[in-house]
Structure 1
Amino acid sequence: MMEKQCFEGLSLSQDLPLSQDDSFKEIWSGLIPCIATIPTLTAPQEAWPAGTMYDSLSQVLNEGFDENLFELSTEMPTTDSVTPYPSSTVPVTTDHPGEYGFQLRFQKSGTAKSVTSTYSESLNKLYCQLAKTSPVEVLVGKELPLGAVFRATAVYKKTEHVAEVVRRCPHHQNEDAAEHRSHLIRVEGSQRAQYFEDLHTKRQSVTVPYEPPQLGSEITTILLSFMCNSSCMGGMNRRPILTILTLETPEGLVLGRRCFEVRVCACPGRDRKSEEESKTKMQSGTKQTKKRKSGPPAPAPSTSSKKSKLASSAEEEDKDVYVLRVRGRERYEMFKKLNDGQELLDKENKTKTKVSVKHEPAVPSSGKRLLQRGERSDSD
């Protein structure tokens, strides 16, 4: 028997099974008679107001022990959540402002080598450095529903790669200690950003709640970072990507969509300038080819000019002297005879051309006949 003092000097006497072999259910059933002997609990119910601790404790004692009371739930929350809606296998990449007039704007950074992020309006392309913040300005035409969010998703641009999931390369994943290190797009400056992965397509996305514009402003700024270079092996591997930014309700209903191309590189300003110049050259080249096709055909070069060019080139080649190294005396004598014979042929050809030029009769002007030997002219 064990004696214990409690409740202002009242003594309680009860055998308590303290062995480790006894279950918690047996200990609970042994404590019920002890608790029932407390005078305050056996007092008239009128002394306790309705809905107080007396009613709840009495209900627990009457119902008995619940074996499932201390069981943990099998559904544990995960840091990388699942998207609340099933996304399509091939995402749509066309712009759709929707009824709220969803629009995007980018800051004008120019093409200097020192910029970390710049946007080309002619190419609809964002150039940025690895893990550097790229601000994206959002405009809406009217007030959005309560709890609206922005979702950013990366997809490949070309049709042969659009079914693949855009992920970071293994090198950058292993260097990152974040829980969502496999995600390419990251939202900076917000603790309420959530990272999702679709169960069916395995596409990854990040959401951030919509914040209304501050006083005196009409835009809301989102800070995006791209955590892998476009040239990373095992990741994008020089394949162009698109970023889809959607405006959604908390239930996943799309209210608007905007899409732009992204290139993650070491020098955004230089790459933007070179790609814009190449595009203008291509456009100007196509215009020139069209003009040439519409005009008259160019005259073909005459055969005489071709022959003169060939003769001049042959003369220039004849003036050049080449040295040939021959091994062995017999071979040297053979090549020497060939060379001497060729030199004699060249001299004979030159003398023949000079003689033919001297004996060539003069050609009379048009309308006159050559006099033969023994003939006299009409004037004689």
Structure 2
Amino acid sequence: MDDQNLDGLHLTQNLPLSQDSFRELWESVVTPSISTIPAATTENQEWRPDGQMDMLLLPYQVLSDGFDENLFELPPESEARDGVTPPASTVPVTTDYPGEYSFQLRFQKSGTAKSVTSTFSELLNKLYCQLAKTTPVEVLVSKEPPQGAVLRATAVYKKTEHVADVVRRCPHHQNEDTAEHRSHLIRVEGNQRAQYFEDLHTKRQSVTVPYERPQLGSEMTTILLSFMCNSSCMGGMNRRPILAILTLESPDGLVLGRRCFEVRVCACPGRDRKTEEENNMKTQNGTKQTKKRKSTPAPDTTSVKKSKSASSAEEEDKEVFVLHIRGRERYEMLKKIHDGLELLDKENKTGPKSKVSVKSEPPLPSSGKRLLHRGERSDSE
């Protein structure tokens, strides 16, 4: 660039150090006119500005118009990316809330056979299922939710000392899985629109699936859930009871309904359900019996002891023993003793009826002649 073309470009040199703002410094710079910038030439052809040249000079024109105060401000944060849930509470609510849509859940009746892969106990409000086996869950509502509503499934620990911990799969089962969401305990099967989320603040994991209207002739919608870790896995649940929270949410994340139930992932769901239901019944019956025992008076111990001793004596008398005797004489002698004892027992059982009555002689008269017995003669004869 020639020196004569730079005459219009100069800077002020009389600025005091560290006294003026950056805006004043910017405005003090004199920008030359675009017409003074010479056109670049080549050896064979002169390069002339066109539409592309205008695009190249556009930033220069913007800067020459004046100082922009928002030049160095950061752009606003973009919206949340896919796969990130809106902020959730630290301690999730585990109470049932049917809401205006009467949100309800149903489970298929499977019984307590050993061959079942999942079974639900209405007595305990608890689901028993095997590892990675599909469990159908039926969803019922009284009226159709808004367009775009979703169903969300979240797992939390039941006890208060563990509720702050995040429910995750154990490292062993995570390493065996190749899916992107391999750390999630709850998985939705048979639906390609299922999305897996992890909250940025609480780190809790959940899975959502769009709500689908019931098919023609049905009043419910069915979703398929799988639990990908045993309740006894070390490094995972580690025998800590968990709750599954199933919520109906609007497209904006507003909860429209909530249902909670306990989950046990085990090898034999039917056996474990039967055992826990029996233990629960025994516990309830045991508390009722203790209350009754406190109200009733204590029985007499002496009468109980007497009745026990009498019954034990009768049982001993009924017992039969075999005695081996050597020699005929000794056998006959012991047999006579035995027969006598048997006869004595019979007489004792019959009582006073078997006793022989003895006729008493009539009393003698106080005076006069003595009474004569039959066949007896008097003294005069």
TM-score normalised by structure 1 residue count:
0.60
Q: CA deviation at 1:161?
A: 0.5
Measured after TM superposition, the shift of residue 301 of structure 1 is: 4.9
1:207 alignment partner in structure 2: 208
Question: How many residues are paired up?
Answer: 249
Distance 1:232 1:304, change over 3 A: closer
The Cα of 1:77 is off from its aligned counterpart by: 9.1
Residue of structure 2 aligned with 1:63, choices 45, 55, 73: 55
Give the structure 1 partner of residue 191 of structure 2: 190
What is the alpha-carbon distance in structure 2 between the residues aligned to residue 219 and residue 102 of structure 1?
11
> Deviation per CA, 1:241-291, whole angstroms, max 9, x where unpaired?
000000001111000000000000001011011111111111111111111
Q: Which residue of 2 aligns with 1:147?
A: 148
Equivalent in the alignment of 2:30: none
Look up the SS of the partner of 2:155 in the other structure: strand
Moved >4 Å (runs of 4+) = 58-61, 74-79, 300-305
Any residues of structure 2 matched to 1:176-325 within 5 Å, and which?
A: 176-301=177-302
Q: CA deviation at 1:65?
A: 8.4
Instruction: Give distance in 2, aligned partners of 1:303 and 1:273.
Output: 38
- SS of the residue corresponding to residue 82 of structure 1 reads coil
| Mapped partners of 2:143, 2:279: distance in 1 | 40
Letter in 2 for 1:252: G
Q: 1:98 to 1:59 in 2, by over 3 A?
A: farther
Counterparts of 2:214 and 2:56, CA distance in 1: 57
Residue type of the alignment partner of 1:126: L
| Deviation sequence 1:27-71 (CA, Å, 0-9, x none) | xx99xxx9x99xxxxxxxxxxxxxxxxxxxx9766423899xxxx
Residue identity in the other structure for 1:234: G
Q: CA separation in 1, counterparts of 2:161 and 2:256?
A: 29
Q: Hey, what does 1:82 align to over in structure 2?
A: 84
Q: d(CA) in 2 for partners of 1:76 and 1:174?
A: 32
* Structure 2 CA distance for partners of 1:77 and 1:304, relative to 1, 3 Å: closer
User: What SS does structure 1 have at the residue aligned with 2:119?
Assistant: strand
Instruction: State percent identity of aligned pairs.
Output: 77
| Cα gap change, 1:133 to 1:304, in 2 (>3 Å) | closer
Aligned to 1:349: none
Aligned to 2:112: 111
Distance between the aligned counterparts of 2:80 and 2:58, measured in 1? 25
User: CA 1:293–1:193 in structure 2 vs 1: closer, same or farther (change >3 Å)?
Assistant: same
The code of the aligned residue for 1:272 comes to: R
- Amino acid in structure 1 at the alignment position of 2:93: V
Higher alpha-carbon Rg: 2
Pairwise CA distance, 1:82: 1.3
Deviations 1:215-262 (A, max 9, x none): 110100010000000000000000000000000011110000000000
With over 3 angstroms needed to count, the CA separation of the structure-2 counterparts of 1:253 and 1:61, relative to structure 1, is farther
For the residue of structure 2 that corresponds to 1:224, the secondary structure is strand
**What letter matches 2:84 in structure 1?**
V
1:350: which partner in 2?
none
Task: Pick closer, same or farther for the CA change 1:304–1:167 going to 2, 3 Å.
Answer: closer
Tell me, in whole angstroms, the C-alpha distance in 1 between the residues paired with 2:304 and 2:269. Answer: 54
Secondary structure of the residue aligned to 1:64 is helix
DSSP-derived class of the 2:138 partner = strand
Shift of 1:143: 1.2
Q: Which amino acid aligns with 2:274?
A: K
Residues in 1 aligned to 2:183 and 2:57: alpha-carbon distance in whole angstroms:
46
Aligned twin of 2:165: 164
Q: Provide the rounded CA distance (Å) in 2 between the counterparts of 1:129 and 1:189.
A: 18
2:128 pairs with 1:127: yes
Distance 1:303 1:191, change over 3 A: closer
Deviations 1:59-99 (A, max 9, x none): 766423899xxxxxx989977x210x211111110000000
Cross-structure match for 1:370: none
Give, in whole Å, the separation in 2 of the partners of 1:77 and 1:89: 19
Alpha-carbon distance in structure 2 between the residues aligned to 1:165 and 1:133: 23
TM-score (norm: length of structure 2): 0.60
Name the residue aligned to 1:16: none
What residue ranges of structure 1 are gaps of 5+ in the alignment? 1-28, 38-57, 68-73, 309-380
Q: Distance in 2 between matches of 1:66 and 1:88?
A: 50
Partner Cα separation in structure 1 for residue 225 and residue 177 of structure 2: 17
Between the aligned partners of 2:102 and 2:52, the Cα distance in structure 1 is 58
Q: CA deviation at 1:207?
A: 0.5
